[in-house]
Amino acid sequence: MQTTISLEIQRYRPEQESEPVYQSYEVPLRKDWVILDALNYIKDNLDGSLSYRWSCRMGVCGSCGMMANGTPVLTCATFLETYAPGPIRVEPLINFPVIRDLIIDMSEFITKLKQMKPWIVREEEQPLSDGEYLQTPDQLTEYKQYSMCINCMLCYAACPIVGLEPGFLGPAAIALAQRYNFDNRDQGKKQRTEILKEDNGIYECTFVGECSIVCPKSVDPAGAIQRYKVAAAAEWWKSLLLPWGNR
């Protein structure tokens, strides 16, 4: 019976090498171990210099996204056994610059995310004395799915358009824009749509659909983008046919 499995990990130490290299590690193949456990085992027992991000170990924080045999996964939710007899090739998420080993630079993603104003935008705040903004369960259901996003960026690694068009705002940012657009307390849809209907927005997406396949939280960003396209196209025709309307 197989007792160990080999991990081929992409290493990149900018002070040491100009190109990434692969390094192999043999780790115990335990039934209850996920790839993140194996990385922690390597860090603790075999090679303390290995760098990677992780935090919660339970699919909530979105820090431990990496490529496993070419597919973007949350390493805390991907069992070693799935890949037996191995080896497992572990690489940083593609479509992002690499800072070191398995750590990517996410600053571009954060910039894109901020452009979407992922918070409740109000034209006028209602005074505290009026109490909270009320919401029915049906109104919650409208956006709840899109609110499950943990910003793990697996969808950015899966999306071929993100790779081809670095300016594309990308699946998670657009799904999060929808999360607030569909929230009855929000009034910022117009501002978000202004950005999203133009270059680098929703129409860059060609509905490959990989973002929804890799999403660990079933957010379905591809669906969110298609819904946005339908709404924006309807708006476009409306402004063409009824130019005197609400512009």
Q: Is the dihedral of CA 228, 229, 231, 236 positive or negative?
A: positive
Considering CB under 8 A, how many residues would be counted as binding other proteins? 19
Residue 119 or 236: which CB sits closer to other proteins? 236
Per rule CB under 8 A, is residue 235 in the interface with other proteins?
yes
Question: What secondary structure letter does DSSP report for 36?
Answer: H
Q: Which stretch binds other proteins (CB under 8 A): 7-15, 23-31, 69-77, 156-164?
A: 156-164
Per rule CB under 8 A, is residue 185 in the interface with other proteins?
no
Per rule CB under 8 A, is residue 23 in the interface with other proteins?
no
Joined together, the tokens standing for residue 144 give 């709840």
Joined together, the tokens standing for residue 54 give 């992780």
Per rule CB under 8 A, is residue 245 in the interface with other proteins?
no
Q: State the pairing for strand pair 4-11/88-91.
A: parallel
CA-wise closest residue to 95 among 144, 166, 28: 166
Per rule CB under 8 A, is residue 203 in the interface with other proteins?
yes
Cα 16 from Cα 13, distance rounded (Å): 5
Residue 51 or 115: which CB sits closer to other proteins? 115
Question: Footprint of other proteins on this chain (CB under 8 A)?
Answer: 115, 160-161, 164, 194-195, 197-200, 203, 206, 229-230, 232-233, 235-237
